[in-house]
Amino acid sequence: MNNMVDSNDKQSIVNYQLSINIIPAIDLIDGKCVRLTKGDYSQKKQYDASPLDMAMRYQDIGIRRLHLVDLDGAKSSCPRNLHVLEEIATRTSLDIEWGGGIKSDTALRDAFNAGAHHLIIGSVAVSQPELFARWLEQYGGERLILGADVHEGRVAINGWMEQSEQSIESLIDHFRPYGLREVICTDIAKDGMLQGPSFDLYARLQATYPDLDIIVSGGISAMSDIHRLDEMHLRHVIVGKAIYEGRITLEEIKSC
């Protein structure tokens, strides 16, 4: 069998226009860009580029939406890097989705006031479902995103340090009547591993909830993963470590 790809095939791959929306991720600890492996804070890798520099590079190649996560906030249950959010919101026109430490009305307002367009709510949805339901009714599903981080079939909370008894399906089912529109699902076992995402999980969720946007997060290793998700009719994918490690280049994203 001939595994060679001729020049015409290569050109068609380069020129292929994706329908899926690529959302670059910036994870923050102490105001710096980092990536964790499987959500483990002891397996932290820090990168030299500043969050603002990265955000501006993404904007320059046509990215419209940015995934910004306050890992300090997720661990301490209160936002710790809002100054970074404010700087990026002030210096760019990116549509910013912010997560980490949003567990009170005050934290929610502070994040919106700092420039977030969307807020990702994870732990509160599990531990205080009535509060998230109220927020959904008050602010709308176009501004609040359910963050469901999954480990061995159950949703993890508090910076992935605790595992609940809830499945992602039960969580989604609970909040759909309140106007839920978007769900970021992260398979913790895949996160930061650069081994490909849980394709079957995302295909199942999108088929089960066709009215919702299921946002893929965790495990993206190369553009081929994104092409496969696009062919499966997933609508959004978050990409982090693969960009920092050079597995996916900004030029490749720009060409899409």
Q: Which residues are catalytic?
A: 27, 149
Q: Answer for the pair 157, 126: CB distance below 8 angstroms, yes or no.
A: yes
List phi, psi (to 5°) of 18: -80, 145
Query: How far is it, in rounded angstroms, from Cα 160 to Cα 25?
Result: 17
Q: Answer for the pair 21, 235: CB distance below 8 angstroms, yes or no.
A: yes
H or E element in which residue 15 lies: helix 7-15
Q: Answer for the pair 97, 66: CB distance below 8 angstroms, yes or no.
A: yes
Residue 191 tokens read as 């996160």
Token look-up 């700092």 returns 114
Using the Cα atoms of residue 59, residue 232, residue 183 and residue 149 in order, give the sign of their dihedral.
negative
List phi, psi (to 5°) of 42: -80, -15
Query: How far is it, in rounded angstroms, from Cα 103 to Cα 194?
Result: 30
In a 3-state reduction of DSSP, which class is residue 4? Answer: coil
